[in-house]
Chains A and B, each alone.
Chain A
């Protein structure tokens, strides 16, 4: 059997309804072994696959149900799964045959019958299914019971009232303690499905049932283990020891070959740790979690990607996991691009003073690769590294200068963008490189880099001899520039004037720019800011200078770290789509169930303090109308709002770091003393509390590490053009 297999490719040809009908009719005679009819049915199935509507053949195909050949029965059933729903008027023809199969001696046939019936969710079929299912859920054969368990979920999806009225949910609960592990696992899956519905019954586990499920773990199939491990999040430990004992039993699953089992076990462990007290055990769990996570990187690239996106979240919440393993995240030359980009972020997160040199050497290597996004992100990471780890700043800046030497446009642009932040992080240290930057002014065509360079010129206009000339050139096409650049030009022109108020050029320049901004431009932000500067300068130029050139809070990597409460919540979705996009599912998937840590006497006090309640589902029901590709949820726009110059307001607008609101916290000076320390040496991760009373939006720092740059950040798309197709 393992060799070659079938020869059915010849049936992959488009055919006409009439032809098939005639062939089926002709096949009825002299078809002793049913080979003729089998052939016609294969042709029909092939045509269904190709997307040809075969539903007119309904009555003809159904006739074949009488044939005692299993293969034919399965093909007819497949046909029914496809077209049964649209043939409500004729479906009664096959009910007797279904009922007969439901009572067949062979358990495989019984299961096949209820499985197929439950795929045809129309009242006539559901009616007969309801009766049969009641028997099948108590069938003596476990295979039938495990099929019946899933059938309940199907029935519930089609007709919740019918399922509840007939007591199927209670019957499923009974199956949770079935003697057969496969049945238990499917009952769990089914109840989870029902419990996740907004109109469904609530599915929670108590300690007794949770322990029974854990006992079934060893005998379940790998998929069953996933369903069971996943369901442990529905158990809320009341005592620390309950959580701890359970975690110890989950821990052994980390050695499983199936990566989904491993990730789901990790999800359960991370969840249970919120309710634990035993610090030693928690450290042990963190230690045990690292190696299996690294091993996931030997799987196929798709699973690697899932693992990497999750690791990025896990190491923020539990910094002791993988803290010594930065090397395993070094990119291989032939890694797919999505793996490389995800690794890069983890490398940055795991970088510390001890490994900064190695990480920097790698990043430099990547900066010469081919993929533009990857190179840009590598350059950006070098800059972020210098901000994060002050002892490495010198070599990082040196590396950036070498990269500027390459004159590759996008490399230079990225370097300029990060250097702007470097200047803010280390005032008075690297200004000597400004002339080198100015030499590359012409190669900056991307707005972000141009704005960054303009900020540098404005900020250090007193140190750049020909600043007024440069500004003169830059404002030449003022009206054609993007708003981002115009805003930067406006602020820089004002700064230049304040520095060099004696210079005629700067006087004319600021006048010219203010006039453009207030009279010619349509953008309200630009106009408002223009007016504000104008009045400031008009009323009292000296005070204006103090305000515009006020000392800026030093930039830090504080905003890199996601808010603890938000992380706790997001980690409840470990391994799922939400963990790939770093978004709670209810914010981008219609009808998705949100999750939140449940309070209990055992819940860690800090976790309780930062609890984020489940957000109201806010996915619009109709086709979504949005401008551009960005996500639509209000939460995200709030985050963007904070970072955008409009809201941040005032003089600092142009130079605000990402996640603007957190800059207030920086003033505490805490992170200045210990810029890369604190959270990264990972000792006491449970005691850290990022921005306890900080931004109102806990997700504001979500994309923090790479500031405004998240072109490559994976995100769900809302594409109104495609809405019709769903």
Chain B
């Protein structure tokens, strides 16, 4: 298992260094710095030198690194790194050099707790926060009952929830957030369109509430078995938070759980059928000789006109030898960004059923070295509130608690694209 855990900054300086096993020396950090941090062409998140393997995940300007000397479970090591980052984010708000340095003592405490001898241990944020805090704790006056409550929770079947949660107003917020991935060919055919859905929940519920959750879904394992589904949305797969009873889902398809307190990701799902693409991009890009390229790009919204797409950002690639670009847009702002070789067209809002068109001409310098322009795809980012590309809706959320309190539930929907809505031209 994991022999050592490090955090490096961009310069390769060690911010956190914890050895879990004696089969490594701290100087192993130098090897990572030479092999990865100062190497401009790192082509793998795992590097194995002899029997030593380095796993790294980058976050902001940091490298989160685990080192192993055995045939480690690679998925586990990366999941552990991700989890560490999530915990740090929850504790300090953000994960960067400054916050790591500001909290290094606390981080040492955390990584001593969530990892023992390289084996990840209970890492439920809610539980951790009950006994790893920034407050000064006198080791002598922790009442025994208090601490055994903590240990029971940390090792228990519902390790993610304290039993003594109390709220005046019992509320639960459900956010259905869908990320649309699109790859469209230059001919306008959809090569691939799918939805990564996340259902985030913020539960502010007293006691130990038993929740039941229902969607208009139908999990399709074998696509050939498809038949009349009515308005049910076909999900290719779904995955659940630790708290959801998988055996119950397997036998009765109901999602039932005791939620952690506060914010958590209840489930993720994937859908590939009948994906409604909120935005349609129709590009006409013509290379005029070798001196210029003309762009006519139309963006159409494809949803109810009561809704609107916001924060639309369209990135139009330009050839590497572009000097200037002249853009005309009826809506938003378009600007050529030479450093990235793109024209960035930002539109704050487009209503449903509308379309906007950009026309632009890029001037090129003559180059002696003629190389074909690779034409990277046009990338579109946007958000549409109260819309799901998969068509998924929340049918119900029921909360049962022995005190039988009344609870208020809120549901929001958001469909967005960021970095993976791509149109070739």
Question: Which residues of A does B touch, CB under 8 Å?
Answer: 1-9, 11-12, 33, 42, 45-46, 48-51, 68-71, 73-75, 78, 81-82, 85, 104-109, 111, 115, 118-119, 121, 141-144, 146-147, 150, 153-154, 157-158, 180-183, 186, 189, 193, 196, 218-219, 221-223, 226-227, 230, 251-253, 255-260, 262-264, 287-288, 291-292, 294-295, 298, 300-303, 305-307, 324, 327-328, 330, 332-334, 336-338, 358, 361-362, 365, 368-370, 373, 406, 408, 573, 575-581, 585, 588-593, 619, 624, 712, 714-719, 722-723, 725-726
Contacts and interface: CB of A to CB of B under 8 A. Distances in A.
Given A257-B239, A257-B242, A300-B78, A223 B119 contact: yes
A69 B28 contact: no
A107 B109 contact: no
Nearest to A109: B139
Contacts of B196: 298
A230 B159 CA distance: 22
A144 B154 CA distance: 11
Given A5-B103, A49-B16, A262-B239, 20 more contacts: A108-B151, A115-B116, A118-B117, A141-B148, A143-B154, A180-B155, A182-B155, A189-B1, A257-B268, A295-B239, A305-B45, A333-B377, A333-B422, A334-B379, A580-B46, A589-B71, A590-B50, A592-B51, A717-B48, A722-B50
Specify which of A154, A222, A307 lies most central, judged by the most chain B CB atoms within 10 Å of its CB: A222
B52 A298 contact: no
B49 interface: yes
Given A51-B29, A306-B75, A8 B105 contact: yes
A273 to B, nearest CB: 17
A287 B221 contact: yes
Contacts of A143: 150-152, 154-155
Given A150-B119, A712-B43, A716-B48, A183 B78 contact: no
A4 B134 CA distance: 11
Given A150-B119, A223-B121, A328-B192, A303 B43 contact: no
B239 A305 contact: no
A146 B155 contact: yes
Nearest to B29: A51
Contacts of B73: 226, 230, 260, 263-264, 575-576
A4 B377 CA distance: 39
Contacts of B398: none
A85 B21 CA distance: 12
Nearest to B109: A74
Contacts of B240: 255-257
Given A106-B142, A295-B239, A585-B71, A223 B123 contact: yes
26 contacts: A6-B105, A49-B14, A78-B112, A108-B151, A119-B20, A143-B150, A180-B155, A186-B121, A218-B247, A230-B73, A256-B239, A257-B239, A260-B78, A302-B57, A302-B78, A365-B424, A370-B374, A373-B43, A408-B371, A576-B72, A577-B72, A589-B51, A592-B70, A592-B71, A624-B50, A725-B31
Nearest to B137: A70
A257 to B, nearest CB: 5
A387 B20 CA distance: 50
Nearest to A118: B117
A173 B196 CA distance: 43
A294 B192 CA distance: 14
A186 B102 CA distance: 32
Contacts of B71: 573, 576-578, 585, 589, 592-593
B55 interface: yes
Q: How large is the interface on B (under 10, 10 to 19, 20 to 34, 35 or more residues)?
A: 35 or more
B286 interface: no
Interface string B13-52: 1111101111010111111000000000001111111111
B328 interface: no
B229 interface: no
B37 to A, nearest CB: 15
B223 A6 contact: no
Contacts of B13: 50
Contacts of A144: 151
B140 interface: yes
Interface stretch (B91-99, B163-171, B355-363, B409-417): B91-99
B318 interface: no
B181 to A, nearest CB: 7
Q: By CB atoms of chain A within 10 A, which of B133, B191, B239 has the most?
A: B239
Instruction: Name the prevailing secondary structure of the B interface residues.
Output: mixed
A5 B136 contact: no
A288 B376 CA distance: 36
B396 interface: no
B134 to A, nearest CB: 6
Nearest to B183: A330
B222 interface: yes
B162 to A, nearest CB: 15
Contacts, number: 355
B49 A717 contact: yes
A108 B104 CA distance: 21
10 tightest Cβ-Cβ pairs between the two chains A and B: A143-B151, A291-B237, A585-B71, A716-B48, A9-B101, A260-B75, A182-B155, A260-B76, A219-B157, A5-B92
Q: Does more than half of chain A's interface fall in helix, strand or loop, or is it mixed?
A: helix
B48 to A, nearest CB: 4
Nearest to A154: B117
Contacts of B15: 49
B46 A142 contact: no
A647 B140 CA distance: 75
A147 B154 CA distance: 12
Interface string B237-272: 111111001110110000000000000010110101
Given A45-B105, A256-B246, A726-B28, A303 B119 contact: no
Given A1-B133, A141-B148, A223-B123, A722 B14 contact: no
A253 B74 contact: no
A305 to B, nearest CB: 6
A104 B148 CA distance: 12
Contacts of B217: none
B157 A181 contact: yes
Nearest to B16: A49
Contacts of A260: 73, 75-76, 78-79
Contact of B49 (A230, A295, A722): A722
Nearest to B262: A2
B14 to A, nearest CB: 6
B48 A9 contact: no
Interface string B180-194: 010101000001101
Given A332-B420, A575-B73, A121 B22 contact: yes
B178 to A, nearest CB: 12
A292 B240 CA distance: 12
Contacts of B103: 5-6, 8
B192 A45 contact: no
A624 B99 CA distance: 41
Given A332-B422, A717-B49, A295 B268 contact: yes
Nearest to B81: A302
A636 B142 CA distance: 59
B105 A306 contact: no
Contact of B79 (A2, A48, A298, A303): A303
B49 A716 contact: yes
Contacts of B268: 257, 295, 298
Nearest to A592: B71
Nearest to B269: A295
Contacts of A591: 51, 70
Nearest to B13: A50
A336 B46 CA distance: 13
A108 B79 contact: no
B131 interface: yes
Contact of A9 (B53, B93, B102, B156): B102
B129 interface: yes
A591 B68 CA distance: 13
A327 B190 CA distance: 11
Contacts of A33: 136
